[in-house]
Amino acid sequence: MGALALSKPVERTGQQERTGQQERTRHTEPKELRIRTRMGEKGRFVIPAAMREALGMNVGDVISLRVVDGEVRVATMRSRIRRAQERVRHLVPPGTLVSDELSAERREAAKYE
């Protein structure tokens, strides 16, 4: 399998994020990162290290694959969850913990069961 050079350098930040026992480095998404590679046996291909770094992918991470407009989109589940949270953030008043509200609703419903 051959690969071409990256079209633009990866932009990185130095922010560290602690998740359980793993330490992860958050990266900003590059403006554009392109590479060509060949499909191997059983439909396999390698995501180059620079792209994995740009996406904040680590060994053992859950990866989401989707087909959108004839293209395969690859994302970490962490980034998909973050994006979903950003989309609904305007629905939650500032200073409100949705988890606390859900727990309170469940306790209230349990009283009547």
What pLDDT, on a 0 to 100 scale, did the predictor assign at position 29?
Answer: 56
60: exposed, middle or buried (Cβ count in 10 Å: 0-12, 13-18, 19+): exposed
Report pLDDT digits (tens) over 26-67. 555 556 788 888 999 999 999 999 899 988 899 999 999 999
Q: Is residue 2 pLDDT above 80, yes or no?
A: no
55: exposed, middle or buried (Cβ count in 10 Å: 0-12, 13-18, 19+): buried
pTM, two decimals, is 0.51
